[in-house]
Amino acid sequence: MDGDTMEILYKKTPVKIRLAHIDSPEKKGTQPFGNNAKQALSNLCFGKTVTVKAEKYDRYKRLIAVIINDKGQNVNQQMLKQGMAWHYKKYSKDADYAMLETEARKNRVGLWQDKNPIAPWLWREKKKK
């Protein structure tokens, strides 16, 4: 659906999943790298069997989860490694995610190539006004 939300089929029933620990650029409203993030997530998961490590449901009834793809990769962490997401510190205190974002920033990977990347939560606030 975008860089941090996906739909899976579980026993032929669609389940909407919000990736835990990360926030990706918005596809709606054309935030820079929004479409790149969606494509990166798709490349990691589309058409593949994944393992879902569920945490809880959010207020939109999406399952908050960590996704492991068929290659054994933690998809949430891969999105950070590829520079396609921020560590969502408001909801995650996980040091591994913080480190992955710092590393991607340092190496100017993905959205960190941008001179002035705007965090998705700030982008959403700006768009409301």
Coil, strand or helix at 93: coil
For range 99-113, the mean pLDDT? 97
Helices marked H in the chain: 34-45, 75-81, 95-106, 120-128
Q: Which residues are catalytic?
A: 18, 26, 62
* Local structure of residue 99 (DSSP, 8 states): H
What digits encode the pLDDT tens for the residues 114-129?
999 999 999 988 877 6
Q: What is the mean pLDDT of residues 56-68?
A: 96
Residue 64 three-state SS: strand
pLDDT computed for residue 128 by the predictor:
72
What is the span of the domain harbouring residue 105? 5-128
One-letter amino acid of 4: D
Q: Is the pLDDT of residue 23 over 90?
A: yes
Percent of the chain with pLDDT strictly greater than 90 = 91
How many domains does the chain divide into? 1
Asked whether the beta carbons of 128 and 105 are under 8 A apart, the reply is no
Query: CATH code at 14?
Result: 2.40.50.90
Mean pLDDT along residues 14-30 = 93
